[in-house]
């Protein structure tokens, strides 16, 4: 190859890399996840994607706020830890230019207690833990309504707050905490609504330990998010393809035995 052709090839490769047509293998895509099932699943996705030429670096976070901030700032290429109502709220509140490119899993939210074995045993004035972010707090209240403990005002929707409770026969006292802290709240509160990823990380088995579980058919299927500018890049399609493989579906079903459900 003469110098002119070599130069043309180098320029073409540089343009392709910049456009996302070729993934530079010395820079794997960075995917942010929360610890627990999301991280476990993505370690398997990493193996499947590698066989298709896509290198992934999995980065764990301990809260729900930082993965979107890091993605919007360019410190991550994608994240996988949230459902659409949460992503929509973050986009609205913070102006992030992020979008969903594929569904992952559903974690039916559970109600847990170390004090009672059923919701009917909760005494009047029981202290009940809720996630303090709007979407998961609303999700917990909708679950309480579904189980007959409270009634929300009409139209409260997915972002309901304790202020939207219009009927509360047991006079439950709501304690709002960071979602990751809720499993540890069980020693101090009468019961808490806990997102399944944090429940599993804390050693709780949703199928065995929850005193009530959310209906898995709903708007809370988790997703893979990327920046809007990246959504059509080839590596995104490869990432989603790896996650949606039959190998990953079987891993989820075998590893989590019904406490985490494939959403694709």
Q: What is the pLDDT along the chain (264 residues), one digit of tens a residue?
A: 454 544 444 455 444 444 444 444 468 999 999 999 999 999 999 999 999 999 999 999 999 999 999 999 999 999 999 999 999 999 999 999 999 999 999 988 999 999 999 999 999 999 999 999 988 999 999 999 999 999 999 999 888 999 999 999 999 999 999 999 999 999 999 999 999 989 998 999 998 999 999 987 778 999 999 999 999 999 999 999 999 999 999 999 999 988 899 999
Q: Superfamily assignment of 110-213 in CATH? A: Periplasmic binding protein-like II (3.40.190.10)
Question: The dihedral of CA 231, 216, 183, 144: what is its sign?
Answer: positive
* SS3 category, 213: strand
- The answer to whether the 3-107+219-262 and 110-213 domains have the same CATH topology is yes
Q: Superfamily assignment of 3-107+219-262 in CATH? A: Periplasmic binding protein-like II (3.40.190.10)
155: left (phi > 0), else alpha (psi -120 to 50), else beta? left
What residues does each domain of the chain span? 3-107+219-262, 110-213
* Phi–psi pair at 61, nearest 5 degrees: -125, 155
* SS3 category, 186: coil
Give the separation between CA 232 and CA 163, rounded to whole angstroms: 41
| Nearest one of 109, 107, 110 to 210, comparing CA atoms | 110
Task: Give the position of tokens 């993505």.
Answer: 42
Task: Give the position of tokens 């949460």.
Answer: 86
- For 43, other C-beta atoms within 10 Å of its C-beta total 13
Question: The dihedral of CA 88, 91, 92, 97: what is its sign?
Answer: negative
């Amino acid at each position: 190859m003469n110098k002119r052709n070599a130069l043309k090839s180098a320029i073409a490769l540089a343009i392709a890399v910049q456009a996302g047509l070729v993934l530079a293998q010395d820079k794997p895509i960075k995917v942010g996840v929360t610890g627990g099932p999301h991280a476990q699943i993505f370690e398997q996705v990493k193996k499947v994607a590698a066989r298709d030429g896509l290198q992934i670096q999995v980065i764990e976070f301990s809260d729900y706020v930082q993965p979107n901030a890091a993605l919007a700032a360019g410190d991550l290429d994608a994240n996988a830890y949230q459902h659409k109502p949460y992503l929509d709220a973050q986009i609205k509140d913070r102006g992030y230019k992020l979008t969903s490119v594929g569904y992952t899993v559903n974690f039916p939210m559970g109600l847990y207690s170390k004090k009672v074995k059923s919701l009917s045993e909760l005494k009047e004035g029981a202290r009940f833990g809720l996630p303090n972010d709007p979407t998961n707090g609303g999700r917990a209240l909708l679950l309480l309504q579904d189980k007959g403990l409270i009634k929300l005002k009409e139209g409260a929707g997915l972002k309901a707050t304790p202020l939207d409770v219009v009927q509360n026969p047991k006079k439950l006292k709501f304690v709002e905490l960071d979602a990751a802290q809720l499993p540890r709240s069980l020693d101090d509160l009468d019961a808490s609504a806990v997102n399944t990823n944090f429940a599993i990380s804390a050693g709780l088995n949703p199928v065995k330990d929850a005193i009530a579980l959310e209906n898995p058919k709903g708007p809370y299927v988790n997703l893979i998010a990327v920046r809007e500018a990246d959504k059509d890049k080839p590596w995104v399609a490869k990432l989603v393809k790896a996650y949606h493989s039959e190998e990953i579906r079987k891993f989820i079903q075998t590893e989590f035995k019904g406490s985490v459900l494939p959403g694709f």
